Amino acid sequence: MKGFLLDTSIISELAPGRQPSALPQWLRDHRPSVFLPVVAVIEIEKGVSRLARMGGSQRAKLLSLWLDRILETFSDRVLALDVIAARRAGTMSDAARATGRDPGLADVMIAAIANIHELTVATRNLRHFEPLGVPCLDPLAGADHARHPRRQLHRLPRQARQRRAEAGAADGVHADVADAFELDEVIATERQLLYVAATRARDRLFVSGVAPGSEPFDELRPSAAGA
């Protein structure tokens, strides 16, 4: 099988309310060989559910209907994570970690599905997939990235990002489903940086800080029972 596997970041470009781009035409040009990983469905559904939980119920309903249409369009081109892909994901994840990278599970699973089916990953986040050793490309490379205000979230403290998300949900003006899971990407990046630091520091690592801290550090904090 030859063609392209769409990352969640590409699917989100098609969500209602997004500014026009060259992506629809790119998809039409490659339609017979474009596939959707079931992992992307999980990520988008997670984002829609979070949006509804945060108060953006109307927007969540709209995005849920949009996802239904996406699944109808790709009804015969949705690729599952089978046992072979799952084992490949484990191998790829360990190989990436051996080089000091800590890829997120969703990206590893998408990369493994692409690898098994000999597909190229179409993504807006090339840096997520390049360490996994799979062919990848950005169909919108060279486009005006100024229309992606969510990229600025990486420069905001956690509390500011949360306030922005809550404000958007309250008045129903979330830009798109990508905003709903953008925090997960930020956390994954922070976790990767922490993993690299811990690997280099080894037994001499001391973690300290002031509250509120970063979510990856919460995973290192001992529970009350184990303290």
Q: What class, spelled out in words, does domain 3-189 have in CATH?
A: alpha beta
Give CA–CA dist 67/161, Å, rounded. 25
pLDDT digits (tens, 9 = 90+) for 115-139: 999 999 999 999 999 989 999 999 9
The mean predicted confidence, pLDDT, of the chain is: 77
34 phi and psi, to 5 degrees? Answer: -110, 130
Residue 17 has a pLDDT of 84
* Vertex 42: Cα angle to 165 and 36 (nearest 5): 115
- Residue pair 4/35 in contact (Cβ under 8 Å)? The answer is yes
- The model's confidence at residue 191, banded by pLDDT at 50, 70 and 90, is low
Does pLDDT of 149 surpass 50? Answer: no
Does pLDDT of 216 surpass 70? Answer: no
- The model's confidence at residue 31, banded by pLDDT at 50, 70 and 90, is confident
- The model's confidence at residue 151, banded by pLDDT at 50, 70 and 90, is very low
Residue 85 has a pLDDT of 96
Give CA–CA dist 53/57, Å, rounded. 8
- The model's confidence at residue 148, banded by pLDDT at 50, 70 and 90, is very low
Give CA–CA dist 139/142, Å, rounded. 9
- The model's confidence at residue 192, banded by pLDDT at 50, 70 and 90, is low
* pTM attached to this predicted model: 0.65
Residue 19 has a pLDDT of 79
